[in-house]
Structure 1
Amino acid sequence: MSATPREHTRTYFLAKLARELELHGLITTLRAYPPALRVSDPDTAMLAETVDCVPLPEGWFYRWSWGEIVGLADDPALAAERIARVLANR
């Protein structure tokens, strides 16, 4: 099965987010199909979250597993800060 252009776009944005999250000391694993990013804190291995990337009329956005928007995919650094803060507060 070959990836669609939309899946390539998701993977591109998720890879950018993964780099930013790793700068925060978090562990990331990119799932290929459907594209999604599993994020965990190495200090508390039990804490993990899945983030995906979706197109909306205003652009591409990172989204939590429960559907709430994390942030604009054009600003992976800000999205990574939000994700790191949420995982740190659990």
Structure 2
Amino acid sequence: MAATPREHTRTYYLGKLATELEQRGLTATLRPYPPALRISDPDTIMLAETVDCVPLSEGWFYRWSWGELVGLADDPTLAAERIVHVLAARG
């Protein structure tokens, strides 16, 4: 099955987020279908979360696995900071 333009956009935004997360010391693995990131802290192996990317009327947004929005996909730096903050609070 060929990837749709929407899946390419998701993968593009998730790749930008993965880069930001890795610069902050987290591991981010892209799950191909449906596109999503599995994010973990290598220091606390048990701590992991999944983030995907969805189009809404206001643009593309990163979204936690439980449905809450992380932030605008056009600002992966801010989204990465929020993810790091949430994972640190759980650790």
Asked whether 1:65 is paired with 2:58, we answer: no
Paired residue for 1:29? Answer: 29
Sequence identity percentage: 81
Cα offset, 1:34, TM superposition: 0.3
Cα offset, 1:7, TM superposition: 0.2
CA distance in 1, matches of 2:44, 2:64: 19
CA distance in 1, matches of 2:82, 2:26: 12
Across the two proteins, how many residue pairs are aligned to each other?
90
CA RMSD of aligned residues (A): 0.3
Paired residue for 1:52? Answer: 52
Q: Deviations over 1:37-70 (max 9, x none)?
A: 0000011000000000000000000000000000
Q: Once superposed, which parts of structure 1, at least 4 consecutive aligned residues long, lie more than 3 Å away?
A: none
Give the 5 Å matches for 1:69-88: 69-88=69-88
Paired residue for 1:20? Answer: 20
Gaps of 5+ in 1: none
Query: What amino acid is aligned across from residue 38 of structure 2 in structure 1?
Result: R
Q: Deviations over 1:13-42 (max 9, x none)?
A: 000000000011000100110000000001
